[in-house]
Structure 1
Amino acid sequence: MYMALEPLHGGSIKRIRQACANCRHKKTKCSGERPICFHCRRNRLACVYEAYSTTVGDANPPAPPPSAIANNPNNAELLQRISTIESRLAELSGRTARSNENDFPDFTISGEHSPPLNNATDAGVFSTIPNSPIDYSSFPPPPVLRSVIDTYFDHVHNKPYSYFQEASFRQKLEANSLPRCLVLAVLSSSVRFSTHEYYVGKKHEASEKYSRESWLSVLTEHLTVEDSLNVHVVQTVNLLAIVDYTAGRVSSGWLKIGLAARISQDLHLMTEPDKWLSYAEQEEQRRAFWSAYLVDKLISCGRSRPLVIMDEDCTVQLPCDEQTFSRGEWKKTNTLDQLLNWKTELIESPSGFALVILMASIFGRCTRYVHQNQKPDEIPPWDTKSEFAAINSSLLLLESYSKIGTQPISETIQQAGQSYTNVDGQQIGHSIFAHTLFHLCHCLLNHPFLVRLRLKPFGSKAPPSFPARALQVGCDHAKQLMDLLLDATESGYRIESSFYAYCIAVAGGIHSLASHFEHQSTARRQSGILHYFSRSLDALERLANFWVHAANMAVRLREFHGISHRFASLLDPMCLTDNLDPACEQICWSMIDYAILGADPYKKPLMPRTGISNLPSPSSWDLGSGVLGTEPSRFEATNPDIFSGLTPTMRLNEAEYLLNCSPGTDGLA
């Protein structure tokens, strides 16, 4: 019986003289191998054999405890070198057992923390082996890790979510004081933008595997360990929620952001942090909470997706400006409630991130009105007491707080002059995102399909001028949204945030509908609308190089444009009382529901199998198929293999059920 359980013993029961600290603590049978036993090597733990006299009676005097040695500055470097040598020896001892994997040298992670990056031997040990499989349970070689961290702060940080003070994050990474789960989540979020040769042809795989390992680390090292929750867990789960949601694992992402919100509340992050923390740590806690708040608002843009965090529960002050944060200083700012109140005296102009939070609050109110209100309105939207009018009034707050809406982004950059820095760029980037949300709110409030639903209960009482004016407002803001993003791109900004894909797709759907409106479709006007529709597709195709759901949205938008002429009655004020076919109504909902719009179009088709006749199937439309009579898309020509990653090849099994926090496959995984 023991022979079957212990194959390393070669058929005999081997009595060892001493067990390592991990095995003794967990009361697990230790193989006694040095420098690392079988149990520690299998579980990737730091194997430590304490002085024998501390565990068994010995005539020799006891050795000083490890903490006493570590606290001696003269021995710190020696201990680090010994630890490095032992980890290398452990890797060599396990190379035979793993020879069939042919992986890179193991960048073993001790406990829950990341490895130090300043070993002099790192560059020699971690040589790049072309075409070798990557061990995603460990970190990449130090030069690669540094490169991906640079990529994170260049492409992900403050776009729009903000979690870290960059200098502090890098110092903690070098000092081996960041949780393993957090570093893996950062890798998963940023590797898609990496240009390092280490990840050539493996970006999608790397992002998925790092995300999985990070989530496994959260489960085993934090959620199942008493008193192990902290702000780093909130940051990690937030990052993983975005990775899952944009990859099509909507249920998994939805549950993760709910978990992040509950952990935030358990840690009291919605209130002001403890004063004994440094200013940088206080601001990081605020930003961790506000980023969770922002994710909650953005991914709730769909039916049956109620919000988790309520505005009235948020008493922590809003994020400060980027310059103050980068210097590690403190500054008093307004709360969200104060910013939403027209009578509040501003302490100072809101920061870019604060403007994003303001718009996220209004956007959350907008999505509740659009998606969650299942009962017919008792007050018509043209009434000043209606929710429609109240949301429009709140949207004017952004105009009073921000100057970007009054001038092009290019002029704002020119005014910054030679003093323009990366921090200034992040501040302006937040403002761009806030104004994009501003236009998106107007697009949803005035969407032809949604306006029709709101007016239907009032029948002939609805004034014809209201839907006509709403159509004009919706089309204008759809154009302004695209103009804003184009101006930002031409001014040197990279529009790469995942949520931009949804904003662009909604605007593109309005352009498609407007192009078929007979009462205004002069040849010149229709050509202009189709130009904006084409620009929407181009923008989605560019984002599809990084985000799976953007590629899915591009396919769905092309498919919708091929049938949008059938929805021309939505734009006719004289047809408000006509009933929509249930299948047509479902298609319209799918073009404004974030989860459905980003789903795999081949697994969850835009059009129902029954209900609409003589329409092409989803598989007959492909990105770059020339709906507008144009050349095939640049995306298809330059990256023909990108769609191979749109549909994950692995299904959820019993193990993935727990890891993904999903009740099962929902057709989006």
Structure 2
Amino acid sequence: MGSSHSPQRQAHNYEGCLPVPVLESTIDAYFEHCHNQPYSFFHEANFRQKYSDGTIPDHLLFAILANAVRFSTESFFGDKIFDFAVAFANQSWKSIVSTCFAANQSADLHTVQTVTLLSIFDFTAGRSRHGSAWVKIGMAVRIAQDLKLMLGQRTHIPHCVQEEHRRVFWSIYLLDRLVSCGRGRPPAILDASCQLQLPLDETKWRDGLWEKTLTLEEASDRALVNNSTHGPFARVIMIAQILGRTAQYMLQECNFRNRYPPWEATSDFAATESDLLLLETRFQMRLPLKQEIGRHLFDTDSMDQAIVGPIIFSRALFHLCYCILHHPFLLRKRIRSCQMSVPPSFLVRTFASGRQHANSLARHIHNARELGCYVQASFYGYCAVVSGSIAGLDAHATDKETRNEALHSLKESIAFLEDLSRHWANACLLLTALKTFVENSYKFRFLSEDSIVDPGLGAEDEDLLWSLVDYSTMSNASPAQPTEHSDTHLQLNTSTSWYELFSSADWGDIDVLDHDFPIGVDEVEEDRSTVTAIHQYGS
């Protein structure tokens, strides 16, 4: 959907930073590449009308620019895209602190949207900004709760605006679940507090229509779920709920003292598997992707990325849940905590399932891109590392077919991360983590073997394996140092820790960025036969 500049529009600070055509093309890039990928913050037509009227606050426009400029093709930005991104993010935070927080003004929906967008930017920007991201996510949650967005009782406003309020909350919920895929990162939003209905179908929202959908609690009721349909974004939320439970069970170390071992029918492990099987049937996860996309498109001559995006993402989350639940490292750690003898057949079944979904996840990302779908969200990088770490273990399998399929999946995951690194700083870190593991994966091959014998791991090796499943750890790693072969750099401002968020320090102008952050990564020394095979496979 295009946009035009209105000469009657009020003057704003952001208009002095960019020529108006560049500003508006960057907004276009946001709605093409970021909307529903996977977060859904705005009703596009209403947003563009507000922009034309000059009623979008500076802090929100700067936050949008910070997230969207990475996808811009404007020559205006040249090779300074990441410089601009950081400057926009800094200016957005400076603006919201001075106009909202410092002035003690009441927060509104724009405040929530801005803080959430900035937390996404910071979480994916590497070590220099990662600490502040966790605090900003918490702020977004509390502001949303203060506005009672989790209740959804806003019948006095138009239907499309009601849905925007709901989608902002569900986007925060989704972010909360994604960033909680790590140790010591409990989710901030309780499922029981989410009393609003799930999102509408995208086309109904665009047309200003309304229909009653289930709440998250109702959608989890097996007696009701088979009598209802869910739009693609609602599916994302439902699977994100299971991802949150999976992460708490397998990644949160405080939950390792569960009294039921995972092979017991009454365990959280078995309950999570059962819910995933239910969604597999309900959402027809085994339907070919091309056919699934076709069912949700009204204009088959062009692909509507805002509709397709949640379909791709929900399927990726589905496979990711299985990968985390059946990851050999995490599962053996869970079994160790039970201090009970594990049935050999349980290991055979779960390792086979983890292997299947790891390969399916890598194949899903590859197929979606082949079909022309945008697979550019930063969280896909985490998906690629988790599935790649399972493939890395299976690359040493004695069975030739298993080994070759794992090598193929690894190649696809590494190639995807290399491409994703063009847009996201943390994708560089994720790529480094996976390549480091590939170099050393021969040491850990026993983890994916069916033997019940578990020799255990040293502290250093365990830290390496945690870095492949802990989203926060891998996004907060120290940046790789540039080498003589690395000449492309992200320009990031390594300015603050979280407790400096509300200081009055000058955040700087767009052309004042002091520190370099490498977008490239060092090539690992390929002295292992498996690593060599990865690069030679299929040649």
Q: Deviations over 1:19-48 (max 9, x none)?
A: xxxxxxxxxxxxxxxxxxxxxxxxxxxxxx
Provide the C-alpha distance between the structure 2 equivalents of 1:272 and 1:121, rounded to a whole number of angstroms: 32
2:242 maps to 1:362: yes
- Give the conservation status (yes or no) of the 8 Å contact 2:320–2:361: yes
Residue of structure 1 equivalent to 2:275 = 394
CA 1:494–1:570 in 2, change beyond 3 Å: closer, same or farther?
A: same
Residue of structure 2 equivalent to 1:298 = 178
2:381 maps to 1:504: no
Provide the C-alpha distance between the structure 1 equivalents of 2:393 and 2:477, rounded to a whole number of angstroms: 23
Residue of structure 1 equivalent to 2:63 = 185
Q: 2:92 aligns with which of 214, 236, 242?
A: 214
- Give the conservation status (yes or no) of the 8 Å contact 1:511–1:529: yes
What is the correspondence of 1:287-366 to structure 2 with a 5 Å cutoff? 287-344=167-224, 348-366=228-246
What is the correspondence of 1:588-599 to structure 2 with a 5 Å cutoff? 588-599=465-476
Provide the C-alpha distance between the structure 2 equivalents of 1:655 and 1:317, rounded to a whole number of angstroms: 36
User: Aligned with 1:323: secondary structure?
Assistant: helix
Q: 2:492 aligns with which of 645, 648, 655?
A: 648
Q: Which amino acid aligns with 2:334?
A: R
- 526-535 or 380-389: bigger deviation: 526-535
- Give the conservation status (yes or no) of the 8 Å contact 2:14–2:62: no
Provide the C-alpha distance between the structure 1 equivalents of 2:479 and 2:458, rounded to a whole number of angstroms: 23
Post-superposition offset of 1:429: 1.9
2:261 maps to 1:376: no
2:390 maps to 1:546: no
Q: Deviations over 1:92-123 (max 9, x none)?
A: xxxxxxxxxxxxxxxxxxxxxxxx9312999x
Provide the C-alpha distance between the structure 1 equivalents of 2:301 and 2:40, rounded to a whole number of angstroms: 18
Q: Which amino acid aligns with 1:145?
A: L
User: Aligned with 2:237: secondary structure?
Assistant: helix
Q: Deviations over 1:500-526 (max 9, x none)?
A: 010011111111111123xx343x542
CA 1:235–1:416 in 2, change beyond 3 Å: closer, same or farther?
A: closer
TM-score (norm 2): 0.87
2:25 maps to 1:118: no
Provide the C-alpha distance between the structure 2 equivalents of 1:655 and 1:431, rounded to a whole number of angstroms: 38
- Give the conservation status (yes or no) of the 8 Å contact 2:363–2:409: no
CA 1:372–1:500 in 2, change beyond 3 Å: closer, same or farther?
A: same
Q: Which runs of 5+ in 2 are unaligned?
A: 506-516, 519-539
User: Aligned with 1:214: secondary structure?
Assistant: helix
Residue of structure 2 equivalent to 1:200 = 78
Provide the C-alpha distance between the structure 1 equivalents of 2:6 and 2:192, rounded to a whole number of angstroms: 46
Q: 2:150 aligns with which of 270, 278, 292?
A: 270
Q: Which runs of 5+ in 1 are unaligned?
A: 1-115, 123-134, 604-618, 626-635, 662-667
Q: Deviations over 1:240-286 (max 9, x none)?
A: 11100000222211111100000001000001232111111111110
What is the correspondence of 1:92-491 to structure 2 with a 5 Å cutoff? 117-119=5-7, 138-248=16-126, 249-344=129-224, 348-374=228-254, 375-403=256-284, 405-414=285-294, 419-420=299-300, 425-458=305-338, 461-491=341-371
- Give the conservation status (yes or no) of the 8 Å contact 1:323–1:423: no
Post-superposition offset of 1:650: 3.8
- Give the conservation status (yes or no) of the 8 Å contact 2:63–2:117: yes
2:418 maps to 1:537: no
Post-superposition offset of 1:377: 3.2
Provide the C-alpha distance between the structure 2 equivalents of 1:413 and 1:572, rounded to a whole number of angstroms: 37
CA 1:262–1:495 in 2, change beyond 3 Å: closer, same or farther?
A: same
Q: Which amino acid aligns with 1:434?
A: S
Q: Deviations over 1:411-460 (max 9, x none)?
A: 23455677337785423321211111010010001101111112224556
- Give the conservation status (yes or no) of the 8 Å contact 1:355–1:398: no
User: Aligned with 2:472: secondary structure?
Assistant: helix
Provide the C-alpha distance between the structure 1 equivalents of 2:297 and 2:429, rounded to a whole number of angstroms: 40
Provide the C-alpha distance between the structure 2 equivalents of 1:582 and 1:243, rounded to a whole number of angstroms: 32
Q: Which amino acid aligns with 1:553?
A: L
User: Aligned with 1:378: secondary structure?
Assistant: coil
Provide the C-alpha distance between the structure 2 equivalents of 1:653 and 1:320, rounded to a whole number of angstroms: 38
Q: Which amino acid aligns with 1:153?
A: F
2:444 maps to 1:567: yes
Residue of structure 1 equivalent to 2:434 = 557
CA 1:149–1:422 in 2, change beyond 3 Å: closer, same or farther?
A: farther
- Give the conservation status (yes or no) of the 8 Å contact 1:296–1:309: yes
User: Aligned with 1:412: secondary structure?
Assistant: helix
- Give the conservation status (yes or no) of the 8 Å contact 1:351–1:427: no
User: Aligned with 2:152: secondary structure?
Assistant: coil
Provide the C-alpha distance between the structure 2 equivalents of 1:179 and 1:121, rounded to a whole number of angstroms: 12
Post-superposition offset of 1:365: 0.6
Provide the C-alpha distance between the structure 2 equivalents of 1:186 and 1:345, rounded to a whole number of angstroms: 36
Post-superposition offset of 1:159: 0.7
- Give the conservation status (yes or no) of the 8 Å contact 1:408–1:487: no
Q: Deviations over 1:371-412 (max 9, x none)?
A: 224343321101010010011111123223313x23222223
Give percent identity, aligned residues only. Answer: 36
Provide the C-alpha distance between the structure 1 equivalents of 2:352 and 2:419, rounded to a whole number of angstroms: 28
Which is bigger in relative contact order (C-alpha 8 A, separation at least 6)? 2
CA 1:499–1:194 in 2, change beyond 3 Å: closer, same or farther?
A: same
Q: Deviations over 1:137-178 (max 9, x none)?
A: 944221111101111110000111001111110010010111
TM-score (norm 1): 0.70
Aligned alpha-carbon RMSD (Å): 2.8
What is the correspondence of 1:620-635 to structure 2 with a 5 Å cutoff? none
- 451-460 or 415-424: bigger deviation: 415-424
User: Aligned with 1:462: secondary structure?
Assistant: coil
Provide the C-alpha distance between the structure 1 equivalents of 2:118 and 2:32, rounded to a whole number of angstroms: 19
Which structure: larger Rg?
1
- Give the conservation status (yes or no) of the 8 Å contact 1:464–1:574: yes
- Give the conservation status (yes or no) of the 8 Å contact 1:322–1:423: no
Post-superposition offset of 1:569: 2.1
CA 1:416–1:258 in 2, change beyond 3 Å: closer, same or farther?
A: closer
Q: How many residues align?
A: 500
User: Aligned with 2:222: secondary structure?
Assistant: coil
- Give the conservation status (yes or no) of the 8 Å contact 1:137–1:210: no
CA 1:174–1:494 in 2, change beyond 3 Å: closer, same or farther?
A: same
